[in-house]
Amino acid sequence: MVGRIYNKLLEIQTSRKDYLLQLWKENNWDGDRDVWRVEFQFRREFLQSIGIVFIQDFLNQQHDLWHYATTQWLQLVIPNPQDSNSSRWPVHPAWEEISHAYSFEPAKTLIRVTKERVPDDQYLFVSGIGVFSSFMAREGITNIVEAFNRYYSQAKRYHLNYKEGDLETYLNEKAKEKSKRYNIPRQGLHDD
């Protein structure tokens, strides 16, 4: 999503859309006060994540999208120096007006669907074990615990000698890349 807020009077100075001034006057603009535009751009990935695929879906849910954008995604609040938690600060009255631009019907709650593409157990514990079993065969090890310990020890030494870094850093970087590919949150991964 992208949100934009800008002064239309300033924009008109460069866009030369002077015809808007007359339209605004016909709709009770006093000719003096600033005119602000608030707009949101919803990208395809976001729209699909909330079940909007076709244009009719979008047209049917414009009100819900506006409500989500102006009450959950972005708000103008009045800071309260006595409260460090900004989520409790009151919404600015001007923003209340903006959020009610589609006030002709009650908004439905939009639920975002995650699109995780996590590898299944077959991949992790059958296909993924191939490298480990190859190590056991190469080293002539039959005890799994001993094999895990030796694999870990040799992997640490290899990365220090040949990759100019430690194994933990390498694994964390790989986990970050894969969490992005799998479309899952990276909580618990180190940000070194």
Give the 3-state secondary structure of the chain. CEEEEEEHHHHHHHHCCCHHHHHHHHCCCCCCCCCEEEEEECCHHHHHHCCCCCHHHHHHCHHHHHHHHHHHHCCCECCCCCCCCHHHCCECHHHHHHHCCCCCCCCCCCCCCCCCCCCCHHHHHHHCCHHHHHHHHHHCCCCHHHHHHHHHHHHHHHHHHHCCCCHHHHHHHHHHHHHHHHCCCCCCCCCC
Confidence of residue 191 (pLDDT cuts 50, 70, 90): very low
Condensed to tens digits (0 to 9), the pLDDT of residues 15-39 reads: 888 888 888 888 889 988 999 899 9
C-alpha distances out from residue 163 to 39, 49, 128, 173, 189, Å: 48, 39, 22, 13, 20
Tell me, yes or no, if the pTM score tops 0.85: no
Condensed to tens digits (0 to 9), the pLDDT of residues 63-90 reads: 889 999 999 899 999 999 998 888 889 9
What is the rounded radius of gyration, in angstroms, for the C-alpha atoms of the chain?
A: 28
Quote the percentage of the chain above a pLDDT of 90: 30
Pick 120 or 156 by higher pLDDT.
156
Condensed to tens digits (0 to 9), the pLDDT of residues 124-140 reads: 888 888 888 999 999 99
Domain ranges for the chain? 2-99, 121-182
pLDDT confidence of residue 105 = 59
Average pLDDT over residues 41-62: 89
pLDDT confidence of residue 91 = 93
pLDDT confidence of residue 116 = 61
